[in-house]
């Protein structure tokens, strides 16, 4: 089997992006070029590697097997390039992903702690949705990821072998409202009062959940503003332009003019925060970052 590093990068990027179109945009190719490379890769491998579905592309069991080896090969190539370029061999890099609100909740304290306890480790971070981060772990472009889970708390993805996960904490979902608006001075709101509310939500797609609207809200929510950035969403809330949902853990990071409300007349919404990594034995650097995020797991 004759495989180039470019072929393997395409495989990894399709696995991470979940579609040929998104992989093409990331790699700077056209969608048709990525599709042609995928067909050529399957022909070369002698097996179907991609499952083409209406909601995107997933790897077949054969594709997942090749992906596992591709990560090892590309990692060795990157290590060789780093050594040849004279990079400091004592510096270890850990690539950490976080879901969209976890950065404010965890990153400042974690990175400060690591700078003191393990200065040899360089942590690079990126945000994403839980499904996207799980794909990135599978593709080998992340080493660790902080994910969010809602009941009934299934595995982050359906692929095998399962990602290794540890529970960091369970946190309650609340509604953020303007401190000077119609909910001023209150600490709770009834579900019925939210039905006609304006909502500020994160854009969603068929593969990603809608974030920012109270789960199970009767009827179709009225979304007046759409933003991925949490600071934008919360300042829109402070200006009285809508409501959004936030985990209780974010209370300390709220801007002035925002209050949090518990929802009555509906079951409590609990979100689980997980730390996930690919299966297998972690490196010492990954273990150190794990310890900084969740000391009891180090």
One domain for residues 78 and 144: no
Whether 260 and 175 share a structural domain: yes
Shared domain check, 148 and 27: no
Domain with 196, as residue range(s), is: 170-270
pLDDT averaged over 10-residue windows placed end to end, the chain, 298 residues? 80 87 85 87 88 87 87 77 62 88 82 86 90 90 92 84 90 94 93 94 63 88 89 94 92 91 93 91 91 69
Q: Is 129 exposed, middle or buried (0-12, 13-18, 19+ CB in 10 A)?
A: buried
State both tokens at 135: 């794909």
Q: What is the structure's pLDDT at 87?
A: 54
225 in the same domain as 263:
yes
Same domain? 236 vs 163: no
d(CA 225, CA 241): 8
Which residue, 84, 105, 131, sits at the end of a domain? 84
pLDDT of residue 97: 94
**149 shares its domain with 197:** no
Say how many Å lie between the first and final Cα of the chain, rounded.
40
Report the predicted TM-score, pTM, of the whole model to 2 decimal places: 0.72
Give the integer Cα–Cα distance in Å for 202 and 39. 35
Length of the chain: 298
- What's the rounded Cα separation, in Å, for the pair 109 and 122? 15
- Identify any residues that bridge with 177 across adjacent strands, giving them in sequence order: 259
Task: Answer with the one of 84, 103, 137 that is the final residue of a domain.
Answer: 84
Asked which of 65, 84, 103 is the last residue of a domain, the reply is: 84
Examine the domain organization and report whether 138 and 255 are in the same domain. Answer: no
Q: Which of 230, 248, 127, 243 is nearest to 182 (CA)?
A: 243
Do residues 28 and 79 both lie within one domain?
yes
Q: Report the pLDDT value the prediction gives residue 268, as an integer from 0 to 100.
A: 92
CA 82 remoteness from chain centre: 27
Neighbours of 69 (CB within 10 A): 12
Please choose, from the candidates 191, 168, 176, 181, the residue with its C-alpha nearest in 3D space to the C-alpha of residue 231: 176
SS3 225: strand
Helix (H, G, I), strand (E, B) or coil at 197: coil
Same domain flag for 199 and 236: yes
| Digit-coded pLDDT (tens) for 105-154 | 788 888 888 888 888 899 999 988 888 899 999 888 899 999 988 888 88
Task: Write the CA distances from 171 to 163, 253, 271, integer angstroms.
Answer: 22, 15, 5
Is 132 buried (19+), middle (13-18) or exposed (0-12) by CB count in 10 A? buried
- Domain shared by 48 and 96, yes or no: no
Instruction: With beta carbons less than 8 A apart as the criterion, state whether 15 and 59 touch.
Output: yes
Asked if residue 190 and residue 160 are part of one domain, the reply reads no
CATH number at residue 36: 1.10.10.10
Question: Does residue 145 sit in helix, strand or coil?
Answer: strand
How many domains is the chain partitioned into structurally?
Answer: 3
Nearest-angstrom CA–CA distance, 188 and 196: 16
Question: What confidence score (pLDDT) does residue 165 get?
Answer: 93
Q: Are residues 289 and 252 in the same domain?
A: no
Residue 127 belongs to a domain with what CATH number?
3.40.190.10
């Amino acid at each position: 089997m004759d495989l180039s590093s470019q072929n393997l990068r395409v495989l990894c990027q399709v696995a991470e992006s979940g579609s040929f179109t998104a992989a093409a945009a990331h790699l700077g190719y056209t969608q048709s070029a990525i599709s042609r490379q995928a067909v050529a890769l399957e022909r070369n491998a002698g097996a179907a590697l991609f499952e083409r579905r209406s909601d995107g592309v997933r790897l077949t069991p054969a594709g997942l097997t090749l992906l596992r080896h591709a990560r090892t090969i590309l990692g060795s190539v990157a290590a060789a390039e780093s050594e040849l370029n004279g990079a400091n061999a004592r510096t270890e890099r850990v690539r950490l992903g976080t879901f969209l609100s976890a950065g404010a909740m965890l990153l400042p304290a974690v990175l400060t702690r690591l700078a003191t306890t393990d200065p040899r480790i360089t942590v690079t971070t990126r945000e994403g949705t839980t499904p996207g981060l799980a794909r990135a772990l599978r593709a080998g472009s992340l080493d660790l990821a902080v994910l969010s889970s809602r009941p009934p708390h299934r595995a982050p993805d359906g692929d095998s072998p399962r990602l290794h996960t540890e529970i960091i904490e369970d946190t309650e979902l609340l509604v953020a409202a303007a401190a000077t608006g119609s909910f001023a001075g209150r600490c709770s709101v009834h579900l019925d009062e939210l039905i006609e509310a304006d909502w500020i939500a994160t854009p969603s797609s068929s593969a990603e959940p809608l974030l920012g609207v109270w789960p199970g809200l009767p009827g179709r929510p009225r979304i007046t503003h759409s933003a991925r950035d949490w600071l934008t969403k919360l300042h829109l809330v402070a200006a009285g332009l809508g409501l959004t949902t936030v985990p209780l853990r974010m209370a300390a990071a709220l801007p002035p003019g925002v209050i949090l409300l518990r929802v009555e007349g509906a079951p409590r919404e609990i979100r689980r925060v997980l730390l996930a990594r690919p299966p297998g034995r972690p490196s010492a650097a990954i273990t150190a970052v794990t310890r900084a995020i969740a000391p009891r797991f180090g």
